[in-house]
């Protein structure tokens, strides 16, 4: 069931909210929590009920295993807690590996060894990449003694809550368990519903009006490259930049819709995007792009490998390995691993540049150049992310540098105007959390976080004027209503979110 489908917007979401609030008013918080777990199972099973036992089975397995892990860690030297944790992580990774990487490994063996093993053509269960990471973090934190007391029902809600189940944000257990225990949890709240609907509709607009309308330019050219056809200079640049914009608005829109849908029920999910194309270096980019994935890779992979604690070169090796594996997490293809490796290399260069003994330049023009260079590096790497094969990626790269002698100046001018329009939105229009700055739109967006993190808009001094102080009212209702109208009129062509394939 897609967030941008009429059945979800006009059926599932409002009906689920109505029943949840009614059950909460009559039977209490625990009953409404149980109802949301059942509704989430229905939501997941709508796509393919065959994989419901997998979702439920892994949830039960991890919950039951966490009990002895937490008991064992209280014994001398941690008892068997670490061994049990490693066993659980291996089971989770084994399930992910079987469904997602079996054919990739068989194909790799066939290519290298000249064998002819048959591919299994296993259908990838929806969301397995996302909920596997949540479960791994849960087991690791259980072995560290960092999981607060919770019931099985609260755990099921944590791993199954439908707004974040399919493609994130990748929530952490502490972000959910602290909210399921609130006295007013899951009760109807006019402000929560108003804020949630606004964020959801902003995300819907990003997806169906922005992402879906820029997608054809990318799909056509990348399709030609996949067929082995040569791609011209302007076409290659248009395709690369169109996909760069499409991917951002598609996944950022999905994350907004997830955060908005959850807020209707009084649950705050963490931020996942904060204007990543405004980043002034690659380190800054990964603090802004897919923030919950970056957090997981940092806390449970990079630090586990040793982080920056074991010397200069080991730190860079850990960065490279983390990003390469993060790339492979996105899909069973060498293009994804190379994309991750490219970003690992970018991060190494960025950290090495920072380590040089020099006086940094901090002027408006230097920040502008840094932002442009960072954006170009990210866009070039997206070619690997989007291409169906390495050969297709090379065709696009060749087109990018194949400047014709008879370059069409008028077409170039039109492309530059098109580029200016999209870059103007990305660089100068406020993002969702900036528009909603005063109503704490996400879990990690309170007053303390806004003052501590320069990525987040401060309460005072916003450059967006009234746009940064959203409150329910006539002006906000009219603007959101217009965006909703345009979005709903575009639902005639419902398309999947790009991250559903991961």
Residue position matching structure tokens 């860079």: 316
- Please indicate whether residue 343 is annotated as part of the active site: no
Distance CA 420, CA 415 (A): 9
HEC assignment per residue over 155-170:
HHHHHHCHHHHCCCCC
Distance CA 213, CA 326 (A): 29
Of residues 291, 199, 210, the one with CA closest to residue 247: 210
Residue 163: Cβ-neighbour burial (10 angstroms; 0-12, 13-18, 19+): buried
Name the active-site residue from 150, 172, 330, 343: 330
Residue position matching structure tokens 């030609």: 224
Distance CA 210, CA 250 (A): 8
Distance CA 340, CA 343 (A): 5
Q: Name the helix (H) or strand (E) containing 201.
A: helix 190-205
Identify whether the C-beta of residue 294 lies closer than 8 Å to the C-beta of residue 274: no
Helices 212-226 and 390-401: crossing angle, nearest 10°?
100
Residue 80: Cβ-neighbour burial (10 angstroms; 0-12, 13-18, 19+): middle
What do you get for the CA distance between the two ends of the chain, in Å?
A: 16
**Residues with active-site annotation:** 330
């Amino acid at each position: 069931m897609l967030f941008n489908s009429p059945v979800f917007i006009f059926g599932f979401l409002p009906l689920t909210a109505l029943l949840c609030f009614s059950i909460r008013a009559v039977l209490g918080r625990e009953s409404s929590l149980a109802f949301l777990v059942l509704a989430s199972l229905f939501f997941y099973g709508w796509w393919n009920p065959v994989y419901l036992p997998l979702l439920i089975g892994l949830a039960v397995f991890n919950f039951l295993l966490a009990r002895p892990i937490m008991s064992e860690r209280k014994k001398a030297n941690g008892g068997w807690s670490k061994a049990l944790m490693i066993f659980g992580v291996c089971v989770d990774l084994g399930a992910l590996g079987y469904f997602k990487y079996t054919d990739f490994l068989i194909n790799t063996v066939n290519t290298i060894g000249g064998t002819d093993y048959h591919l299994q053509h296993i259908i990838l269960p929806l969301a397995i990449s996302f909920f596997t990471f949540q479960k791994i973090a849960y087991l690791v934190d259980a072995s560290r003694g960092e999981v607060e007391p919770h019931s099985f029902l609260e755990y099921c809600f944590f791993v199954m809550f439908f707004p974040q189940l399919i493609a994130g944000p990748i929530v952490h257990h502490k972000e959910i368990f602290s909210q399921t225990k609130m006295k007013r949890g899951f009760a109807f709240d006019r402000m929560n519903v108003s804020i949630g609907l606004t964020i959801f509709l902003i995300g819907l607009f990003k997806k169906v009006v922005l992402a879906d309308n820029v997608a054809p330019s990318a799909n056509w050219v990348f399709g030609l490259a996949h067929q082995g056809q040569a791609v011209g200079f302007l076409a290659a640049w248009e395709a690369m930049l169109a996909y760069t914009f499409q991917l951002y608005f598609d996944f950022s829109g999905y994350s907004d819709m997830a955060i908005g849908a959850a807020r209707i029920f009084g649950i705050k999910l963490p931020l996942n995007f904060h204007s990543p194309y405004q980043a002034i270096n690659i380190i800054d980019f990964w603090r802004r792009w897919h923030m919950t994935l970056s957090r997981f890779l940092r806390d449970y992979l990079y630090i586990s490998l040793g982080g920056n604690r074991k010397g200069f070169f080991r730190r860079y090796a850990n960065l490279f390995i983390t990003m390469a594996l993060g790339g492979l997490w996105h899909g069973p293809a060498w293009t994804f691993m190379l994309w991750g490796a490219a970003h690992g290399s970018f991060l190494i260069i960025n950290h090495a540049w920072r380590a040089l003994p020099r006086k940094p330049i901090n002027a408006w023009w230097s920040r502008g150049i840094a932002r442009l260079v960072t954006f170009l590096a990210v866009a070039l790497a997206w070619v690997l992310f989007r291409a169906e094969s390495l050969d297709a990626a090379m065709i696009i790269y060749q087109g990018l540098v194949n400047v014709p002698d008879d370059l069409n100046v008028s077409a170039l001018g039109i492309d530059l105007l098109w580029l200016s329009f999209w870059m103007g939105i990305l660089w100068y229009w406020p993002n969702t959390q900036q528009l909603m700055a005063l109503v704490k739109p996400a879990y990690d967006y309170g007053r303390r976080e806004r003052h501590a993190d320069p990525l987040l808009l401060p309460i005072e001094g916003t450059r967006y004027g009234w746009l940064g102080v959203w409150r329910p009212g006539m002006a906000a209702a009219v603007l959101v209503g217009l965006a909703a109208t345009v979005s709903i009129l575009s639902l005639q062509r419902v398309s999947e979110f790009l991250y559903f394939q991961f």
